[in-house]
Structure 1
Amino acid sequence: MANKIFSHAFSALLALSAITANVHGQTLTDLIKDTEIREGCIISLAVADAGGNTLAEWNADYPMVPASTMKTVTTGLALQELGSGFRFRTSIAYSGYTDSLGTLHGDLYIIGGADPTLASTRKKQDSLFNIWGNAVKSAGIDSIAGSIIGDAGFFPDEMAPGSWEWGDLGTYYGAGASGLSFHENSISIRIIPAEKTGQRPYAEQIYPETPWMHIDNLSTTGPRWSPNTILLYTSELCPVAEIRGSYPINGGINIEECCNKYPAMTCAYHFDRYLAANGINSLSGPMDTGRFTTRDPSEFADRDSLHYIITTYSESLSSIVAKTNMESNNMYAETLFKMTGLQTGGSASYETAIKTAGKLLDEMGIDTKGYRQTDGSGLSRQNLVSARFLSTFLSKAAAGPEGDAFIESLPVPGHEGTLKHVLKDVKPEYSSRIRAKSGSMSGVRCYAGYIFPDNRKKPVSFALMSNNHAGKGSDMQKAIEEILKALLAELMPGKSIVL
C-alpha cells in the first residue's frame, strides 16, 4: 500500500513539476525527495483548486502532527457556526438589595461569557474598569457588604485538555480557556541573573498581581551565552507554581510571560482594588466561584435571579479570529473551539467540542480520514490531520459565507504575524499572493493556506507538512521554505519570483 501511495503521489507531482523548475534548477518533486532524505523526515503535500479537486499531492493521506495549522480548522468552523459579527459578552450584576445609604447587602458579580480579549492589556483594563465602575455608581452602590465575585461558570473548570504536555502548562502559550478570562490568562515575571553562575536569578512577578499564588524560584543562573530555559510549572489543582530552568548570566533583564490558571479570581481581585481606589469598598473582598471561595456552591446566587447593571461586549469574532491566526494565540483558539462546542453541541467541554468539530466536518462533506483533533490550538501532539484533509477543508472554507473573513485572517509571508520573517527573498508582488497559517514545534514544520495564481481569481488551497525531523529546526525551516517557493513557482510558470 505504501508503494502505491508513493507512486501515485510521485506521478501527480511529476505532472505538475513538468511545467517549470524552481529557482535552483530542481523540480518540486526533487526538492521534496532530497529534503526527506537529508533531514530524515516525512513530508506531506496536498494542493487543491477552489472546487477541492487535487492538483498535486505527496504522501497526502499520511496522518501528520499539524501544530498550529490546526487553528485553521478551529477558526474556520467558529466563523461558520458563530458568524463574523458574533461578540462575547461580560456582565456586572448583583444579588440582594441596596439600602438608602447606598450599601449593597449582597454580592457584586462579574459574569463571564468567555471573552478571550477581556482586559487583554493594561490600557484596555483601565477603560473597561472605568465603564464597569461608572455603571456600579450609577446603580446607587457606594459600598458592598458582601464580596466581588468572579464567575467563570460559563465554561467548565477544565482550562486545558488532558493531552497537553506538562512542560507546556505553565507557559503563556499553555494558558487555556476560561469562562472568565483576564489579561489573556497570563502573568509577567521579571528575571535578572545573579552575580555568579549556579546562584538563583532574581524573579519578580510584575502584572497582574496574584497574591494568593505561591511561586517558588528553583531556577539557576547559567554560564554566558547558555540558553534561556526558564519555565513556570503550575496547574489548576492548587495555587502553587515553580520557576525552573537556567538563565544566562549575561542575559540582562528579561520579562517571561507565564500562565495564570486563576483568571476569574484575578479579575475579581483587580476590580475590587479599582473600586476601593474609587471609594467603593467590599467588606468580604474578592473571590471566585471555584477554588477561591469559602462558600458552598449552593450559596451563590442563580444567574437568573441577579440584578444586571451592565453588559459589555468583545470585538467582533472576525477580529478575534484574525488575532488568533496572525499571532497564533493558543488561548484564543481554545476559547473558539469550546465556544463552537457550546453553540452547536450544547456544552463547552472538550469532549463536546471534539465531537462537534467532527460532526460539522461530516456535514461539510469532508473525508475525515487521517483526522484527529484533541484541542483547538494544535498544541497537543495527539492532533493528527492529513495534508489532503487540510487542503480540502481550506477549499470549502474559502467557498463558504465567511470565506473572505477567514482568508483575510491569515498572515502574508514577509509582511505580518507569524509569517513576517518567512519567504523574505520572494518578491513582494508574489509573496503577497499567499495567505497561510504556520505551525511549528519540535520535529514539526507546517504551512497551510492559499495561493492566488495569476490566472485564477479564486485561490488554490495547499497544506505542506513536515514531521519527525531530528536535526536543527532552522535547517528544516529553510528546507520547507524552499519547497514553498518551488510550489509558488509551479503555480506561476514563467515568473521570476525571487529577489
Structure 2
Amino acid sequence: MPRPRRSPAFAAFVAFTPSRLAPRTATWLIAATLGAGALLPQAAEARVKAAHPSVNVTTVLPQPVMAGLQRAHVPLSSVSVVVEKVGDRTPILALNAGKPMMPASTMKLVTTYSGLSILGPDYRWRTSAYADGTLDASGVLHGNLYIQGTGDPKLVPEELIDLVQKIHKAGINGIDGALVLDKRYFDPSTRDLPPFDDDSTAPYNVGPDPLLYAFKSLSFTLTPSPDGTVAIDVLPALAQLRIDNQLHATNGPCRGDAASISPTVTPQPDGTVVALFTGDYSMRCDPRTVNVAVLDHSAFFAGGFLALWQQTGGTFSGTTREGAVPAGAKLVATHEGPVLSDIVRDINKFSNNTMARNLFLTIGAAEERPPATTAKAARAVEDFLRRDSLNPEYLTLDNGSGLSRDEHITALALADVLQRANASPVAQVFVESLPIAGVDGTMRNRLANQGAGGNAHIKTGTLRDVRAIAGYVASADGNSYVVVSLINDPHSEAARAAHDALLEWVYEGPSQGFTKVSAPIEEPRAKPRKNPRKRAAH
C-alpha cells in the first residue's frame, strides 16, 4: 500500500495541539554508545527525575540514525536530540537534551516566534520621507529631503519605488539640497560589525541597518551574446555604479564557478563605484548570476534611491549624508513594507540572516524604545519567553539569526518553543513559514522521494562544525511530532544523512521503537558562563 502523503501546506500540527500544554514531565535518558557524553546539565536532569523518577531507561538512537552518525564519525556526545508528540511535552526520545549547543539558523525559530507574538503577524515597517525647505512652482525642493528608516527587512526595489512615487505625487520632482538619511532607529553599535567569517562580500554576512536596501548586495548576471560578447546586467541599479567589462569571450568548455567571475568593486575618488570584470568566459556557458555585498549601508541605500529617483524623472544636484529629521520638517510620504507574516516566511524558508537580524533589533526597539541595541533585543525576547511560560535559563542570544558562535540553546528548550508556538495564536503563520521537506526553501532537495517528503516542516541550520534541524513531522500513523537535533562536531557536515534518517524514522512512527542498551552516563558539564551581548565570531 502506498504511504499516505499530506498536502505540502498541511496544518495538522495545530489540530493535534490542546489549548493548554501539559507541564514537562519524563524523558528517556539516552546513553552514548559512540562515545558516552554528558547528558542533561545537573539542574535539568534533576528536574526530569523529580517530575518522573520512575523513568530511568537508557537506549540508543534509531539504527538508521546511529549508522549515519557512525559513517560521519560523529560521537553521540556531540549530538543533542529531542522528539515529542505535539501537545505532549514528555519526550519519547531525548539525548543530551539539556546540553547548551550552537543551533546555527534554527535560532531563527526563537526570533520569528517572538516577533510574531510581540509585534503581531500584520505588523509593517515604515520608511518615511520628510521635506525641509521650500518647493517652487516647477516642483524643485530648495532644501533637504530626509529619508527615515525603521529597519524594514525587505526594502527591495519593488518596495522602494512606492516611496519614490509617493514623493513625486507630493509635488517634488527635483532636489537641490542634500539627501539625508535618518538611521537613529538602530543604535550605531549595531552597525559596521565585523563579518562572521573572512568573506566580507558574502551576502549572508551583511549586517542589520535601519535603511537596509536590497540586502546591500548586487546581483550580476553574465550572459553570452551571439555577437561574441558577454552582457552584464545588474540588480538593483545604483546611481554611482559603473561596470567595467573586460571579459574575454572564448569558445572553450564552460568551466569555473561563481567565484571565478566575481567582480572587483572599488569606490573611486569622484564618488563613483567601479565593478571590474576580467578573465575568460566561455560562450558555451549558460547565463550565470553572482551575488556580491558591496559598500556600506548608507552609500548603498543612497545609490539605490537616487537610481530610482532619476529613472522616474527626478533631478538631484546635492550631496548625501546621515542626519536627524529636524522638528520643523514636513512629512511628504510613507511606505509601509510587507506584513511581518510574509517577512517571517522569507526568513525561515530561505534562512535569511540579515532579515532575521533586522527583526531581532526591531523587537528591541518596540519593547524598550529606539534606538535598538542587541542587549535590548535579547532582553525583550527573554522577557517574552518568560511570559510565555518558557525558561530562557540556557538560552544565549547574540544577533537572533544563529550566524554566531556565541548563541546557544538546548534541544529541550527549542522543543519547548516549538510546542508553545504550535499552541499559540500565531501557530498557522509560524508553521507554514518553515521549509517543507522535498518541496521548498532549504529543505527542497531533501527527502523528496521518501515518506517525510511533503510531511515535515523543518528549519535547518548550518555553520562550520554545526548542523541542526528543528520543526514538525506529520507521521504515517496520524500523529504529529516536534523534532529537534543539534550536532556540534568537526565532522557535522557529513551527518546530514543522520538527520534525514531521523526525520524519516519519525515519519514512519516512533512507536516502532529501537534497540535498548545499558550504558553509563557521564557526570554533567558545568553550566557555561553566559555572555549574550558578545559579538559573533567565527
Bin the TM-score by the shorter chain: 0.7 to 0.9
Alignment of 1:189-228 (within 5 A): 189=220, 206-210=234-238
Match of 1:485 in 2: 504
Match of 1:293 in 2: none
Is 1:92 the equivalent of 2:92? no
Aligned-partner SS, 1:136: helix
Give the drift of 1:161: 8.3
Amino acid in the other structure paired with 1:339: T
Is 1:48 the equivalent of 2:87? no
Give the drift of 1:181: 1.6
Give the drift of 1:34: 4.0
Give the drift of 1:137: 3.6
Give the drift of 1:142: 4.0
Q: Deviations over 1:342-372 (max 9, x none)?
A: 1113342122222322232233332334422
Q: Please say if residues 149 and 211 of structure 2, whose CA atoms lie closer than 8 Å, have aligned partners that are also in contact.
A: yes
Is 1:466 the equivalent of 2:499? no
Amino acid in the other structure paired with 2:486: M
Give the drift of 1:134: 4.1
The correspondence for 2:72, drawn from 7, 14, 39, is 39
Q: Please say if residues 16 and 56 of structure 1, whose CA atoms lie closer than 8 Å, have aligned partners that are also in contact.
A: no
- The CA distance in 1 between the partners of 2:306 and 2:372, in whole Å, is 28
The correspondence for 1:30, drawn from 58, 63, 87, is 63
Change (3 A) 1:247 1:320: farther
Match of 2:103 in 1: 66
The correspondence for 1:268, drawn from 284, 294, 302, is 302
- The CA distance in 2 between the partners of 1:38 and 1:13, in whole Å, is 31
- The CA distance in 2 between the partners of 1:96 and 1:226, in whole Å, is 53
Amino acid in the other structure paired with 1:315: P
Is 1:305 the equivalent of 2:328? yes
- The CA distance in 2 between the partners of 1:243 and 1:12, in whole Å, is 69
Q: Please say if residues 435 and 451 of structure 1, whose CA atoms lie closer than 8 Å, have aligned partners that are also in contact.
A: yes
Match of 1:175 in 2: 206
Aligned-partner SS, 2:342: helix
- The CA distance in 2 between the partners of 1:243 and 1:387, in whole Å, is 47
- The CA distance in 2 between the partners of 1:348 and 1:402, in whole Å, is 24
Alignment of 1:308-323 (within 5 A): 308-323=331-346
TM-score (norm 2): 0.71
Q: Deviations over 1:241-283 (max 9, x none)?
A: 9999x99989776322122453443333333344344443223
Change (3 A) 1:232 1:398: farther
Match of 1:24 in 2: none
The correspondence for 2:118, drawn from 73, 76, 81, is 81
Alignment of 1:118-157 (within 5 A): 118=155, 120-121=156-157, 124=158, 128-129=160-161, 131-157=162-188
Change (3 A) 1:477 1:486: same
- The CA distance in 2 between the partners of 1:63 and 1:151, in whole Å, is 39
Give the drift of 1:203: 12
Is 1:441 the equivalent of 2:466? no
- The CA distance in 1 between the partners of 2:64 and 2:393, in whole Å, is 27
Amino acid in the other structure paired with 2:413: F
Match of 1:20 in 2: none
Match of 2:290 in 1: 256
Match of 2:384 in 1: 360
Amino acid in the other structure paired with 1:182: Y
Amino acid in the other structure paired with 1:384: H
Question: In the comparison of the two structures, how many residue pairs are matched?
Answer: 452
Q: Please say if residues 365 and 372 of structure 2, whose CA atoms lie closer than 8 Å, have aligned partners that are also in contact.
A: yes
Change (3 A) 1:364 1:163: farther
Match of 1:22 in 2: none
Q: Deviations over 1:292-348 (max 9, x none)?
A: xxxxx5xx542x432111212111111110111111111111111111111113342
- The CA distance in 1 between the partners of 2:337 and 2:317, in whole Å, is 30
Q: Please say if residues 475 and 508 of structure 2, whose CA atoms lie closer than 8 Å, have aligned partners that are also in contact.
A: no
Change (3 A) 1:33 1:322: same
Match of 1:419 in 2: 443
Match of 2:4 in 1: none
Change (3 A) 1:248 1:97: closer
Change (3 A) 1:96 1:454: same
Amino acid in the other structure paired with 1:105: H
Q: Please say if residues 108 and 149 of structure 1, whose CA atoms lie closer than 8 Å, have aligned partners that are also in contact.
A: yes
Q: Please say if residues 226 and 248 of structure 1, whose CA atoms lie closer than 8 Å, have aligned partners that are also in contact.
A: no
Amino acid in the other structure paired with 1:288: R
Change (3 A) 1:379 1:215: farther
Give the drift of 1:435: 1.3
Give the drift of 1:91: 1.3
Q: Please say if residues 67 and 498 of structure 2, whose CA atoms lie closer than 8 Å, have aligned partners that are also in contact.
A: no
Change (3 A) 1:361 1:242: farther
Change (3 A) 1:30 1:491: closer
- The CA distance in 1 between the partners of 2:473 and 2:485, in whole Å, is 12
Aligned-partner SS, 2:185: coil
Q: Deviations over 1:156-181 (max 9, x none)?
A: 33556858523243211111221012
Q: Please say if residues 189 and 207 of structure 1, whose CA atoms lie closer than 8 Å, have aligned partners that are also in contact.
A: yes
Give the drift of 1:450: 1.2
Is 1:378 the equivalent of 2:381? no
Amino acid in the other structure paired with 2:464: S
Question: Aligned-residue CA RMSD in angstroms?
Answer: 4.2
Change (3 A) 1:479 1:209: same
Q: Please say if residues 228 and 248 of structure 1, whose CA atoms lie closer than 8 Å, have aligned partners that are also in contact.
A: no
Aligned-partner SS, 1:310: strand
The correspondence for 1:337, drawn from 336, 343, 360, is 360
Q: Please say if residues 469 and 476 of structure 1, whose CA atoms lie closer than 8 Å, have aligned partners that are also in contact.
A: no
Amino acid in the other structure paired with 2:178: S
Question: What percentage of residue pairs aligned between the two structures are identical?
Answer: 25
Amino acid in the other structure paired with 1:342: A
Give the drift of 1:145: 2.4
The correspondence for 2:372, drawn from 337, 343, 348, is 348
Give the drift of 1:466: 1.8
What stretches of structure 2 of length at least 5 have no aligned partner?
1-30, 225-229, 246-252, 514-538
- The CA distance in 2 between the partners of 1:175 and 1:224, in whole Å, is 31
Bigger helix fraction: 1
Aligned-partner SS, 2:396: coil
Give the drift of 1:75: 0.4
- The CA distance in 1 between the partners of 2:509 and 2:170, in whole Å, is 65
- The CA distance in 2 between the partners of 1:379 and 1:253, in whole Å, is 31
Q: Please say if residues 163 and 374 of structure 1, whose CA atoms lie closer than 8 Å, have aligned partners that are also in contact.
A: no
Q: Deviations over 1:90-116 (max 9, x none)?
A: 112211222345432211122212111
What stretches of structure 1 of length at least 5 have no aligned partner?
18-26, 194-201, 218-222, 290-296, 495-499
Give the drift of 1:77: 0.5
Change (3 A) 1:56 1:492: closer
Amino acid in the other structure paired with 1:262: D
- The CA distance in 1 between the partners of 2:203 and 2:377, in whole Å, is 22
